[in-house]
Structure 1
Amino acid sequence: MVLVILALLLNSALLMGNEFAVAAFIHPSLSGKDHRSNLVVIQHFANLYGRVMPIWMGVTTALHIIVCVMAWFYSPLVFSWLLAAALIWIIVIPYSLFFPVPLNNQVKEWDLNNLPANWEVIRNRWDIYNWIRVMLLMTAFIALSIGFRLTVE
């Protein structure tokens, strides 16, 4: 049980760290003074993440559910923390599909020579939605970490 949770913990840390890096460093860097000139790079990231993240997040959510079921038989206390983490992950998936992903899909399709009038508003809204997702992932990671800590005591 400990090794399974440890593997999930490492995977979740990588995913959360990736999302944090995008929110805290990549997007602010690309949204600086000459924001418009970086849209090609932003579209490239939108395409890449649009292919990778659904798989990574889907697998991570499934693993959270599996580990949670395993913890049901292991310890009620560990189960409660892992359930909290799994429930947050279950919330993150539809949240992502309804909020940041549609905006990401718009950005991917933009004609850079004919941007929509509200393109900067869309980018700023995506940043806000992504920060909310990062906060949810951090909360899930804390719950998972507590669950892991309880398994090794």
Structure 2
Amino acid sequence: MEWLSIVAVVVVGLMVGVELSVAFVMNPIFGRLPQEAGIAARSDGARMLGSVMPFWYIGSTLLVVGTALAGPAAAGPAWIAVALLLLSVVMSVTLLVPINNRSKVWTPETVPADWRVQKSRWDRLHLVRLALIVAAFVLVTVAATR
């Protein structure tokens, strides 16, 4: 079952990389675009990633559960990683997804007056979620090396 922990590390690691890119590359680029283009880019990103990330988060969590069940030596760090990933899923569903669902239909003509406030709230919450999944990634990596 060693392959399972390797797959878990790769899948969680790639997810962390995508989310790091969103936080520190894509959203800052979108913020520097002219307002109409930035709104359109963020809306498109919300639609695209909003359709993929739920499967990635749940799949990552299930792989880490498998890692925890497969090896008793890895169980401690792996279960903590599972808890962090589950917390990130709950946080996503309750706090980030509602904002994302609103923003994915924004156009320059229909963007609400408070769109900057919503965007900033999403960005701050995303950084908290990112910290959770980075910690989970470290722990699943530790678990995989045991």
Q: Which category describes the TM-score, using the shorter chain as reference length?
A: over 0.9
What's the TM-score once normalised by structure 1's chain length?
0.89
- Which position in structure 1 is the counterpart of 2:56? 56
Rg larger for: 1
Does 2:81 match 1:85? yes
Determine the C-alpha separation between the residues in 1 that align with 2:125 and 2:77.
25
Determine the C-alpha separation between the residues in 1 that align with 2:33 and 2:66.
45
Does 2:95 match 1:99? yes
Partner-residue secondary structure (3-state), 2:109 = coil
Determine the C-alpha separation between the residues in 1 that align with 2:16 and 2:145.
19
Matched positions, count: 146
- Residue 19 of structure 1 aligns to which amino acid in structure 2? E
Determine the C-alpha separation between the residues in 2 that align with 1:114 and 1:7.
42
Give the drift of 1:69: 1.8
Determine the C-alpha separation between the residues in 2 that align with 1:6 and 1:59.
14
RMSD (CA atoms): 1.3
Determine the C-alpha separation between the residues in 2 that align with 1:49 and 1:5.
25
Determine the C-alpha separation between the residues in 2 that align with 1:63 and 1:6.
10
Sequence identity of aligned pairs in percent?
Answer: 23
Give the drift of 1:115: 2.1
What's the TM-score once normalised by structure 2's chain length?
0.93
After the TM superposition, which segments of 4 or more aligned residues of structure 1 sit over 4 Å from their partners?
none
The runs of 5 or more residues in structure 2 that have no matched partner are none
Determine the C-alpha separation between the residues in 1 that align with 2:81 and 2:136.
4
Give the drift of 1:66: 2.0
Q: Deviations over 1:25-63 (max 9, x none)?
A: 100110126234321111111111111111111111112
In 1, are the aligned partners of 2:9 and 2:137 still within 8 Å (CA)? yes
- Which position in structure 2 is the counterpart of 1:141? 137
In 1, are the aligned partners of 2:31 and 2:38 still within 8 Å (CA)? yes
Give the drift of 1:112: 2.2
In 1, are the aligned partners of 2:7 and 2:63 still within 8 Å (CA)? no
